[in-house]
A and B are shown apart, each in its own frame.
Chain A
Amino acid sequence: MFALVDVNNMYVSCERVFRPALNGKPVVVLSNNDGACIARSNEAKDLGVKMAQPWFEVKHLERSAGLIALSANFELYGDMSSRMMVLASRYAPRQEIYSIDECFLDFEGVPGDLAAIGRELRRQVLQWVGLPTSIGFGPTKTLAKLANHVAKTADRKPGTYPQRLAQVCDFGALRSEELDDVMRRTDVGDIWGVGRKTAPKLHDAGIRTVLDLKRADAAILGRQFSVVMQKTVRELQGTPCLEVEDDPPAQQQIMCSRSFGNPVTALPDLIEVVSGFATRVARRLREQQGACNAVHVFITTSPYRTRDPQHSPTATLPLPRPTADTRTLVNAAVTALRGIHKPGYPYAKAGVMLVELQSDKQEQTSLHLFDEPEEVQPDGRRDLMATLDALNERFGRDAVGIASAVKRSARSTHASRQERRSPRYTTRLDEVIVARA
């Protein structure tokens, strides 16, 4: 069995741990440069705020409905994420960190009542870290993800699913007709592996619910749509097609991680590895015309070498602006690595994850060209990186130093466009919470 553990409204939940006054209020967290809503509290969802909706479209709700907007505080979210991930990893033999707020756990060979284990994990994360989670168990990753959707939706909207499936939902404990009922209540657009563009096409083909999709012919849909679709159908039918640590089908985040053949201890070696990972994820980011807002780096010693000293630090470095620039991303990853590496520990695994992806079109509209005269864009549709690459090719490698330019601009733009950022409560001593005595 697999479990998918994820934090409800992660960024908003992190803010609420340190600002209790935000509880029960409509809250959104804005992307870099305060451009778009990248996280919403349930109350904000109820106001109709959509995911990735531009801030200017909902700004009027500040006055009319008390909507509270905060600038993204990735340093805080990254630290809270690593706390949650470490706790979750202790419950199963294998963990795949899938994004900043979700991970898969592989419970293969674990006996006992999984739902009870899930409830204990949920309770512990809530008490220790303060974050509310939803947990779904299923025999495949797609089913675990669906179970997670059920757990979360049943909690948020009573009546959508049986109430006993709220918060922690174990498909393994359902009879087949109960599982069919859950699938009948779920639109195909709500499951993993079915994109926003694919859902209407499935609807046109008469496949409206997840149950319809499960009963479809995987091979035919595979030919009609894609290999991903074929895998999705097989997974819904209970045949695992995706292993833990497999690449996720949808590129909602980009990660590169690997276990080493032999432990790596020296910083220069780790820098080489992490730089390689960052280079690779940057390329993948540009392939999908994306840009990211923060870089998350982790290194970990082997939990299986119990006699070795253990060290599993992570760091998240927010970027001054969304980017897909290899040099910026490598620079950020190495900076993060230097901050967390401790000499002497035999690290067994490392990873680089790009956090909070958006399309590079968004990036271009949020660029304030007048602030950055050195970064001229003759054509708003052209890829920024391609433009700069071309400039560099034409005028020599140092003509436009992107990494250094971003660094220089970091201080000036960071402050001015993150006006609503809360303190970095867990990573800066002068920003910890204050208690009255």
Chain B
Amino acid sequence: MLRERGTASASTPRSRVAISFGSPAGESGVTRLDLNEILIRNPQAAFLVRIAGAAMREAGIDDGDLALIDRALDAGHGQVVIAVHQNEFLCRRLCTRGEALGLQATDPEVPDVWAGEADTFDIWGVVTHVVKQVSG
């Protein structure tokens, strides 16, 4: 299936590890918990975004938090998303009202954005997790 081609290098690599023992866990055969595997379902669609502002505090998202985005997910009602509005990235909750799509902050003082003729936005990705520094 895999074939060699050309005169690729001066040396032919020889593995010193038998194939059946080629586990990253080494001798124990157990793999240490890896946050990447726990948090990221679709690595090719995973992006990190820094949050600036406090309008989403009631959703547990604070100023300075790091949001993990999965662009593979289709955004639905109630999900926290990163949207592009007037060429700016916004972190908001997606709302659907019948056919209408809107962006809402958890802070009631912050006005909604509703997609329509006068104004529109695009969904950039769905926020799946938030990393916040607690100490250190």
Contact = CB atoms under 8 A, between A and B. Distances in A.
B5 interface: yes
Contacts of A130: 71
Given A309-B23, A435-B90, A435-B91, A265 B44 contact: no
A87 B89 contact: no
A276 B44 contact: no
Interface in B1-51: 1-6, 8-17, 19, 22-26, 31, 42-45, 47-51
A373 interface: no
B56 to A, nearest CB: 4
Contact of A435 (B10, B16, B19, B89): B89
Contacts of A270: 13
Interface of A: prevailing SS = mixed
Interface string A258-273: 1111111110011011
A262 B45 CA distance: 31
A311 B12 CA distance: 21
Interface in B42-91: 42-45, 47-56, 61, 63, 66-67, 71-72, 82, 84, 87-91
A344 B15 contact: no
B44 A437 contact: no
Nearest to A432: B48
Contact of B53 (A257, A263, A276, A436): A436
Given A83-B44, A127-B71, A435-B50, A264 B9 contact: no
A343 B24 contact: yes
A378 interface: no
Given A305-B19, A436-B91, A261 B24 contact: no
A257 B9 CA distance: 10
Nearest to B72: A128
Contact of A344 (B16, B25, B71): B25
Contacts of A435: 49-52, 67, 82, 89-91
Given A263-B19, A344-B23, A437 B45 contact: no
Contacts, number: 153
Contacts of A370: none
A133 B74 CA distance: 20
A247 B56 CA distance: 53
A258 B24 contact: no
Contact of A258 (B6, B15, B88): B6
Interface stretch (A172-180, A285-293, A345-353): A345-353
B105 interface: yes
B8 A308 contact: no
Given A435-B51, A437-B56, 10 more contacts: A129-B45, A260-B13, A266-B17, A272-B13, A273-B9, A344-B25, A433-B49, A433-B50, A437-B54, A437-B61
Interface of B: 1-6, 8-17, 19, 22-26, 31, 42-45, 47-56, 61, 63, 66-67, 71-72, 82, 84, 87-92, 105, 122
